[in-house]
Structure 1
Amino acid sequence: MTSVTSRRRTAAVLLGLAAVVLPAGCGGDGDGDRGGDSTEHAERAAASPRATVDVVATRLDAPWGLVTLPDGRVLVTLRDRAEMLLLDPTTTPAARTTLTGPGADALASGTAHGGEGGLLGVAVSPRFATDRRVFLYRTTDAGNEVVRAELDGTTLGALTTVVDGIPAASIHDGGRLAFGPDDDLYVTTGDAVGGDEAQDLGSLGGKILRVTQDGDPAPGNPFAGSRVWSWGHRNVQGIGWAADGTMFASEFGQNTYDELNVVVPGANYGWPVVEGRRADGAGDDPEHPPEAYRDPVVVWATSDASPSGLAVTTRAVYLAGLRGERLWRVPLTSGGVGEPQALLAGEHGRLRAVLEAPADDTAPADDTAGAGGRDVLYVLTNDTDGRGSPSADDDRLLRVAVAD
């Protein structure tokens, strides 16, 4: 691996009004989830812990999805190529294999790539050791869909459709997949530039879905017979869970606020009526009362974040920033969340995905975490997605050790 301290030293790290930490909750929820008791304004990002970076893999073409297999190898999806790479991070550089087989052929021939669509999220079954199932989110000519296939070595079996009918567009396609603590599959979707989709419970657009491995509504969903878990979303591309079961989601704003939300079943997060806090969007319209929507716990200016992937560790929530070109760390506290801390600002370009590395993963050699402990993460850069300024080695998979 190659150790990296900074790739873009000329970048200014003047964060300005970087983030606002807000109390969680929506009128009458009473669910006792994470969130502060008062609003805190962070005029500058809080002092950041030390982050040490190693380069695991280079020259990845528009990487998007990222997940580890039980044996520690890493699956990466390539959005525009509609290919899947299997990386071995224990070798230097990481040995890579492009998956083949009927599933790989079907991805290449049936995935529509353009704008923000293509081959996006990937998740591995909680029972992968026995069922070998891999789940993928992709764009087709008919819309976005979730498919599954069995992975045997480096061979991807035939695709089975799990969920279809998800609206697609050149932007706002959502696309993240993750299995929750309940072993159900969660799917994030975008509004496909149709804001009304997010407020329509009959549409799968602008939602977080919760389904079984066969794509049926998971038992216990908040709306009878529906796959919808939460609604009123513009474009969610990151989800994860704290040890206590709290679910977090990162969401792109339009022009004003990006969001970190605590997700509760059945909650409406306001888009397109509200962007950011209820007080900033909903007015006196009786059809859109502020108490109908749930506030985020943190908001950022869109230039500072544009958060895509998200990871939750025992210490913090991490968000990969595209426009912001930084990794945001939001500490978890006994009362909710603390002030956001900016890591890697301007050093590695656009960041697409972040994932906690396996517990036995080796941290960078010069890491000095000390007694406070550390988080070890995989981070995907995303300068080859058509909106960045790629170098010859882009894009890269990084291993980042964050010391408390």
Structure 2
Amino acid sequence: MQFSSANNKILFLICFSVLGCSPRKRKEAIIPVEQNIQLDKSILDISVVAKGLNVPWEITWGPDDKIWMTEQHGEISKIDPKTGEKKRILEIKEVWKDRTTGLLGMAIHPNTREYPYVFVDYTIKDNKKIFSKLVRYTIQQDTLINPKTLLVIPGNTGHNGSRLAISPNGKLLWATGDAANYKNAQNDESLNGKILRLNIDGTVPENNPVEGSYVWAKGFRNMQGLVFSKRGFLYTSEHGDALEDEVNLIVKGGNYGWPNIEGIHDTEEEKKYAEKYNTIEPLLSWTPTIAPAGMTHYGSNNIPEWENSLLLTTLKARSLRVLKLNNDGTKILSENIFLENEYGRLRSVCVSPNGDIYVSTSNKDWNPYSKPVEFDDRILKISKASKITSEKVSKGKLASENNSIDNIDQLYSIYCGSCHKDDGSGVQGSFPALKGSPIVLGNKGDLIKVFLKGKKTENKPEQMPAFKFLNDEEGAAILTYIRKNWGNNAEPIQASEIKKLR
């Protein structure tokens, strides 16, 4: 900018000095607070930083103080947390997206000055075969260059796992799913259903449990969260089948039991297997399942009530869980639930250096509970506040069992709603509608057998799990609910009828 005289220039500088302005400073957007959370002492603001996204599968804090994000269809972008501005930095054209496949996990090396690397995991399809591909990119200003393929393993339309993390000593950890073949998890010749540990050039570290093998731990179904704590402990979140979603503390060479053990070692068969193979129990498991997704460790004292907790997003339960750890990091002491059913399915979570928390929604994915709202998908910001400024204030709640047959609507929603939907409409091509279903309205014995034993559809990873773990009264309540709702008008099912067919 040119000035006509020295006096004009002085007046200009005084103006900006006094008013606190700067001709070079861009005006930041004012992001309104949608609601407050009242903790024991702290007050939190909840605001929407970005909206109109397309399944932001991974979000992580970048070295440039931006939120780095993968979107499932194949784009990597940055979100400015102050303005919500989105800037695409890479489109990966070979990404193949269907159901739960696509561009998934991402990790940025914590020392980008020496190692300017970003690692991503995505799905490809080659000659009708599906693969999960692990690739390293080099950061160059606002783009990523020099893709280097580190590893390619078999994939499927589901159960690909796909979270990535960098260890404190600079190794790359990759959580893989069993690729919808449960035998892979215990098969030492397969890299599916494992946690893999690599050098950042893709080679096998010398101190892995088995020489020449990438496998760090085994016995997993479908991990959706992977994070190191400040103390260097590695934690995972994992989808169970019809029961026993899990959070695990990972140890070198550990066996976590799937498919022979689900969750806690509480059946005679599981106890025998655990004793024989020295399997490790989860820190926490959930039945009914909650579909745990992305997870991070909160090591900041900015929100003191949450310090030293695992922050866990959930899809089916549509909530943020705060899992308080003991000082050693070896036990979960409590579980508190926030944002339940407020923003839909929650997929990923990250923390900024100053202790702000960012959460991404996942309402445009293949299996939403309902139609996405106008602003989906979104990134939410949770930050410390000095006072309550919103009319909407919540306190969260302690996790508790609420699956009694006295609350049959919720019992159905917990066990059946995530697949068949709360209105019984199902998902075309994946989960059949219960409304008007010939199986639901037909012979009661046939329906009970499917309920107790499950049902698998050929060439599909999604299958009807067995619900034999429910007692006869619970089973009868659910099946009667299904046969009496959404225009269905069939006879109720009695607990005695289920008992006969077990």
- The TM-score with structure 2 as length reference comes to 0.64
Q: Are the aligned partners of 1:198 and 1:271 in contact in 2 as well (CA < 8 Å)?
A: yes
CA distance in 2, matches of 1:202, 1:340: 37
CA distance in 2, matches of 1:177, 1:284: 31
Question: Which residue number in structure 2 is paired with residue 271 of structure 1?
Answer: 258
* CA distances 1:111-155 after superposition (whole Å, capped 9, x unpaired): 111111100011112331244211100001140010011122222
Question: Which residue number in structure 1 is paired with residue 89 of structure 2?
Answer: 99
- Whether 1:308 and 2:293 are equivalent positions in the alignment is yes
2:143 to 155, 163, 180: 155
SS in 2 for 1:158: strand
Question: Which residue number in structure 2 is paired with residue 293 of structure 1?
Answer: 279
CA distance in 2, matches of 1:289, 1:208: 22
* CA distances 1:233-272 after superposition (whole Å, capped 9, x unpaired): 0011211122222211111111011101110010110101
- Whether 1:135 and 2:122 are equivalent positions in the alignment is no
Shift of 1:48: 12
Question: Which residue number in structure 2 is paired with residue 342 of structure 1?
Answer: 337
* CA distances 1:316-344 after superposition (whole Å, capped 9, x unpaired): 01111000100111112236321211111
Identity of aligned residues (%): 31
CA distance in 2, matches of 1:220, 1:275: 29
Distance change (3 Å), C-alpha of 1:47 and 1:168: farther
SS in 1 for 2:174: strand
Distance change (3 Å), C-alpha of 1:55 and 1:223: same
Q: Are the aligned partners of 1:51 and 1:343 in contact in 2 as well (CA < 8 Å)?
A: no
Instruction: Report the AA paired with residue 98 of structure 1.
Output: R
Shift of 1:289: 4.1
- Whether 1:192 and 2:179 are equivalent positions in the alignment is yes
- Whether 1:87 and 2:79 are equivalent positions in the alignment is yes
Q: Are the aligned partners of 1:150 and 1:158 in contact in 2 as well (CA < 8 Å)?
A: yes
SS in 2 for 1:127: coil
Greater RCO between the two (CA within 8 Å, min separation 6)? 1
SS in 2 for 1:197: helix
Distance change (3 Å), C-alpha of 1:224 and 1:400: same
Distance change (3 Å), C-alpha of 1:268 and 1:59: same
In the TM superposition, 1:5-404 aligns within 5 A as 5=35, 51-79=44-72, 81-91=73-83, 94-100=84-90, 104=91, 107-108=92-93, 110-141=94-125, 142-164=130-152, 166-280=153-267, 282-283=269-270, 289=275, 292-303=278-289, 305-314=290-299, 315-334=308-327, 336-359=331-354, 375-388=355-368, 389=370, 390-401=372-383
Instruction: Report the AA paired with residue 235 of structure 1.
Output: N
Distance change (3 Å), C-alpha of 1:133 and 1:182: same
Shift of 1:213: 0.9
* CA distances 1:345-393 after superposition (whole Å, capped 9, x unpaired): 111110000111222xxxxxxxxxxxxxxx5211111011022231110
CA distance in 1, matches of 2:228, 2:271: 35
Q: Are the aligned partners of 1:51 and 1:344 in contact in 2 as well (CA < 8 Å)?
A: no
Tell me the matched-pair count.
338
Shift of 1:282: 3.5
SS in 2 for 1:198: helix
Instruction: Report the AA paired with residue 126 of structure 1.
Output: P
CA distance in 2, matches of 1:178, 1:333: 22
Which piece of structure 1 moves more, 253-262 or 68-77? 68-77
Q: Which has the larger radius of gyration?
A: 2
Unaligned segments of structure 2, at least 5 residues: 1-30, 300-307, 386-394, 396-502
- Whether 1:3 and 2:33 are equivalent positions in the alignment is yes
Instruction: Report the AA paired with residue 292 of structure 1.
Output: N
Q: Are the aligned partners of 1:327 and 1:344 in contact in 2 as well (CA < 8 Å)?
A: yes
Unaligned segments of structure 1, at least 5 residues: 7-45, 360-374
CA distance in 2, matches of 1:119, 1:48: 40
Distance change (3 Å), C-alpha of 1:50 and 1:201: farther
SS in 2 for 1:176: strand
Q: Are the aligned partners of 1:319 and 1:328 in contact in 2 as well (CA < 8 Å)?
A: yes
Shift of 1:66: 1.3
